[in-house]
Structure 1
Amino acid sequence: MDNEKLSKHIPSADDGDVIADTAEYNSNEIQRFKVEHRLLISIWQMCFSAPVEEILTSGSAKVLDVECGYGIWLTEVAHEYPKATFIGIDSSKKISYYGTFDYVHFRNGSIAVSTDPKIIPEMVRVLKVGGFIELCEVDAHNVNEGPFMKRIANSDGMIGEKVDEILLKNGKITNIIHLQRYGQLGTWGGEKGTMAVKNFRNNWLALKYQLAEFMKISPEEFDTLVEDCVRETELFRTYFKTHRIYGQKIK
């Protein structure tokens, strides 16, 4: 089953107000997304931080989840707020809406933004005036990271620390709030720390060929570097950092 391509388990538009237009993912990728989602929810204790609770329960809200993966965030929030309409797309898809959505959500899309800077302006474009945009990122740079981990972090296209600056430059988003929370990384952090370091390891390996090429090392050398990073988390008692940045469209 590991190598079998699986369609994402997302309700169709006929079964409910959830529509997803994304690529397919294999079972290893789906499991990685599930673990990361559980980890982030355990840290934040909620699926979003923007003040959209009242909007989602109004009965007419439209929500866009960009870079939705196989739809785990989308389906969970849709289940909690059945009156709202949810649409999920990958960032590679053209967004053919304008001023349509009350809430636009974007998680773990730093690489997509680093390669296509038009993504955030496009999300603002499809947002209604008065609507909220929220971007969520796991930082490439960690607290108490060792020299091996710094090598990988410096090769990542992380934009988490800069998202609020990007939104401000857009000129249409106000009341920008930037929140940060931390999680233990490594078996020294117990069950959650163990889950986190396994997920970080799998995420790094999923990007092995891109990062190895950027770092000008072989894939085998990158494998060794990843295992060195995992060992460092115990030595330095590393924490990872997550960001949530949200704001409201004013014009």
Structure 2
Amino acid sequence: MGVSNSIFFRKVNAIRDEYNGRRRGTHLDRDPQTTPTRYARSFIINGSKMRYPLPLNADEEKSWLEDLQHYLARHLWQNNFSSPIENLLKRGARVLDLGCGTTTWSFEMAKDYPKSKFSVVDFAPIPTNKHVKNIEFFQHSHGDLPFEDNTFDLVFVRLVGLSEEEWKDVLKDSYRITSAGGWIEFMQMDSRFSNCGPHLEKWNDMVASSDSTCDKLEDLLLKRNFPNLRHEVAIVPIGSWGKKTGELLFAYMRHLLCKVKSEISQPGIIDELDEIMERADQECAQHKTYGSLHRFMTQKNL
């Protein structure tokens, strides 16, 4: 797939050390003798023969910026999911897309796996007029999800902004509605950038929580004893030092900045945001700033 892998297999209690080690820039040797109940995998895309390449023209790039986290994840992993459920999807599976956002993921999956049935749920009104025979849409705002126990072969939760208490409810309900032997997969972009200069640290402080979203999610998954937990991390350079991928993520930051500025009335804060973006690319190149996308997968016990 044109992916240059740097794969680390670690014991259960070493995964957090590994993730923190990567954030500090240290290197962890492979340990092929380890047979973990969980594993972490990190990689950076490298190569040209890909099923999902980078955008080839201005129109494609514009589409990417409207749903960049989805397209970026698809490009980095060269797939739309990491759970080992491909064969079942081809035969026909029940899939829940929770936190569907733009619905891009669901429509792509429904097209790729026409024998599978997709239930699409979001907490806000779902912005689509499309009708596909193997997709059904639900809006859900509070309480348990409107599905019976053991309904889905794959529950996919992606790119949702939830409080810790809301995450606890989602984890509990996701496990309930997953069938025995089925998979639950979470995909989140870390709320904070790493290796930041002073202006990008201001960005972190202004638009992100004090703690890593993905660290919190991993802690909650461990506390709930999700079985056979797997964790994959895709490292994404930001800015011109990351070439086309980094430039796209930097453009997405500008895209977000325009939305943030439209909701701010204090001139001083707007000026500060403008200064951050003016200096950010140079800082990213100097400090090798990067973001990270995370996928967590767990299989429900039989």
Q: TM-score, normalised by structure 1?
A: 0.75
Give the equivalent residue in structure 2 for 1:68: 100
Kept in 1, the 8 Å contact 2:239–2:281? The answer is: yes
**Do residues 176 (structure 1) and 226 (structure 2) align?**
no
- Once the 2 structures are TM-superposed, how far is the Cα of residue 88 of structure 1 from its aligned partner? 1.3
Give the equivalent residue in structure 1 for 2:208: 156
1:96 maps to a residue whose letter is P
- Once the 2 structures are TM-superposed, how far is the Cα of residue 175 of structure 1 from its aligned partner? 0.5
Q: Distance in 2 between matches of 1:230 and 1:120?
A: 37
Kept in 1, the 8 Å contact 2:64–2:71? The answer is: no
Q: Distance in 2 between matches of 1:144 and 1:177?
A: 25
One of 78, 102, 121 as aligned partner of 1:45: 78
- The verdict on how the C-alpha distance between 1:32 and 1:122 changes in structure 2, with shifts beyond 3 A counting, is farther
1:199 maps to a residue whose letter is Y
2:234 maps to a residue whose letter is R
Matched residue SS, 2:193:
coil
Give the equivalent residue in structure 1 for 2:245: 192
Matched residue SS, 1:181:
strand
User: What is the CA deviation profile of residues 129-173 of structure 1, one whole-angstrom value per residue up to 9, with x for unaligned ones?
Assistant: 2211111111123332112222332451442123232122224x2
Kept in 2, the 8 Å contact 1:113–1:119? The answer is: no
Q: Distance in 1 between matches of 2:195 and 2:104?
A: 30
Give the equivalent residue in structure 1 for 2:148: 98
List runs of 5+ in structure 2 lacking aligned partners: 1-61, 125-139
Kept in 1, the 8 Å contact 2:240–2:281? The answer is: no
Kept in 2, the 8 Å contact 1:131–1:248? The answer is: yes
- Once the 2 structures are TM-superposed, how far is the Cα of residue 204 of structure 1 from its aligned partner? 4.5
Kept in 2, the 8 Å contact 1:63–1:102? The answer is: yes
Larger radius of gyration: 2
Q: Distance in 2 between matches of 1:33 and 1:123?
A: 27
Q: Distance in 2 between matches of 1:126 and 1:208?
A: 40
Q: Distance in 1 between matches of 2:170 and 2:259?
A: 23
Kept in 1, the 8 Å contact 2:237–2:245? The answer is: yes
- Once the 2 structures are TM-superposed, how far is the Cα of residue 177 of structure 1 from its aligned partner? 0.4
List runs of 5+ in structure 1 lacking aligned partners: 1-28
1:167 maps to a residue whose letter is L
**Do residues 126 (structure 1) and 158 (structure 2) align?**
no
1:142 maps to a residue whose letter is F
Kept in 2, the 8 Å contact 1:62–1:102? The answer is: yes
1:191 maps to a residue whose letter is K
1:149 maps to a residue whose letter is L
1:37 maps to a residue whose letter is H
Q: Which has the higher mean CA deviation after the structures are superposed, 159-168 or 132-141?
A: 159-168
One of 31, 35, 48 as aligned partner of 2:68: 35
Kept in 2, the 8 Å contact 1:113–1:120? The answer is: no
- The verdict on how the C-alpha distance between 1:106 and 1:204 changes in structure 2, with shifts beyond 3 A counting, is farther
Aligned residues: 219
